[in-house]
Amino acid sequence: MQNRQFLLDTAKAKMPFGKYKGSYLIELPEHYVVWYNNKGFPPGKLGKMLGLVYELKLNGLEDLLRKLR
């Protein structure tokens, strides 16, 4: 049940700062998410969400979150 809620939260989450502030996490450009993966995701829930977005983009599963939104 927690995983389901986390997926829903991630689908609706927007970037809270930076160049892409206000963009849905799943809509962030792949190069930006890869850069964060290499640099290190921020701590907390946002970092975990970005990690999930990275894995989804890496495996071509972005539509999974887009459909949930």
Sign of the Cα torsion 47, 4, 10, 59 reads positive
Strand, helix or coil at 51? helix
pLDDT, one tens digit per residue, over 13-52 is 999 999 999 999 999 999 999 999 999 999 999 999 999 9
* Tokens of residue 45, six digits: 């829930």
User: Residue 12 and residue 25: Cα distance in Å, rounded?
Assistant: 8
Confidence of residue 1 (pLDDT cuts 50, 70, 90): low
Strand, helix or coil at 58? helix
Number of separate domains in the chain: 1
Report the predicted TM-score, pTM, of the whole model to 2 decimal places.
0.91
The answer, yes or no, to whether residue 67 has pLDDT greater than 70, is yes
Which residue range is the domain that position 8 belongs to? 2-68
